[in-house]
């Protein structure tokens, strides 16, 4: 029976494929204040701006590919029962071949009804004002904006609580509630922390092995260390 490897990924792994994060040094996300494009208030203030912003992100996604970090995580399914919990809204894990991917913050290639949050549709092209669900309600990006609940959180906690190994890749562990998952890792489970500029993980009971490298190189190291157990 394969051991369960749970991996929490953040913007750092996608950045190597060319996808920018709003946590760039200038504090902007592709030139926009995140409060304008990633909050319910921003949506109600300027719906056209928000739709245009995510349309551009959706088009950009077609121009990038999974990197070695994504690919190795998919390959690890040969030896481990791998669950990816990601803060990223791209589909690079899936395109690399990972089969169990839980998106905490939504998915760029999906939209949902503003009236019914459970009415979710696959969407690969532009989303515009006047694109309605079957009941005539406007569709919006299927993204968890700041200030909104994280529907997948309970499932993420359940997965984390049964991990034999837990890895954190490319996330600063500063965005909650995702960062709080670390507290649900069983105390005897080894934790691997991959980040080129790692910070101290507060209030953790586990043994933490830090790999101070970018995601692709760090995941290659992770594979070697897991195979040594």
Active-site annotation, residues: 105
Q: At what angle do helices 215-227 and 68-75 cross, to 10 degrees?
A: 20
Strand 81-86 versus strand 4-9 pairing type: parallel
Distance CA 190, CA 31 (A): 39
d(CA 175, CA 9): 12
Alpha carbons 86 and 103: distance in angstroms, whole number: 5
Q: Which two tokens stand for residue 150?
A: 């994280």
């Amino acid at each position: 029976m394969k051991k369960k490897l749970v991996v929490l990924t953040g913007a750092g792994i996608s950045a190597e494929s060319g996808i920018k994060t709003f946590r760039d040094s200038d504090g902007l996300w592709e030139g926009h204040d995140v409060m304008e494009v990633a909050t319910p208030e921003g949506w109600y203030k300027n719906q056209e701006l928000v739709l245009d912003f995510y349309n551009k992100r959706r088009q950009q996604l077609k121009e990038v590919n999974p990197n070695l970090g994504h690919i190795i995580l998919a390959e690890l399914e040969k030896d481990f029962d791998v669950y990816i919990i990601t803060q990223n809204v791209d589909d690079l894990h899936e395109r690399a071949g990972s089969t169990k991917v839980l998106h905490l913050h939504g998915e760029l290639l999906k939209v949902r009804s503003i009236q019914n949050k459970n009415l979710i549709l696959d969407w690969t092209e532009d989303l515009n004002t006047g694109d309605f669900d079957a009941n005539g309600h406007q569709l919006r990006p299927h993204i968890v904006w700041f200030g909104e609940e994280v529907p997948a959180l309970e499932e993420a906690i359940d997965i984390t609580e049964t991990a034999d190994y837990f890895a954190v890749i490319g996330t600063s562990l500063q965005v909650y509630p995702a960062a709080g998952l670390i507290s649900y890792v069983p105390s005897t489970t080894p934790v691997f922390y991959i980040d080129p500029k790692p910070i101290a993980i507060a209030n953790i009971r586990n043994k933490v092995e830090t790999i101070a490298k970018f995601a692709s190189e760090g995941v290659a190291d992770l594979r070697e260390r897991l195979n040594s157990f």
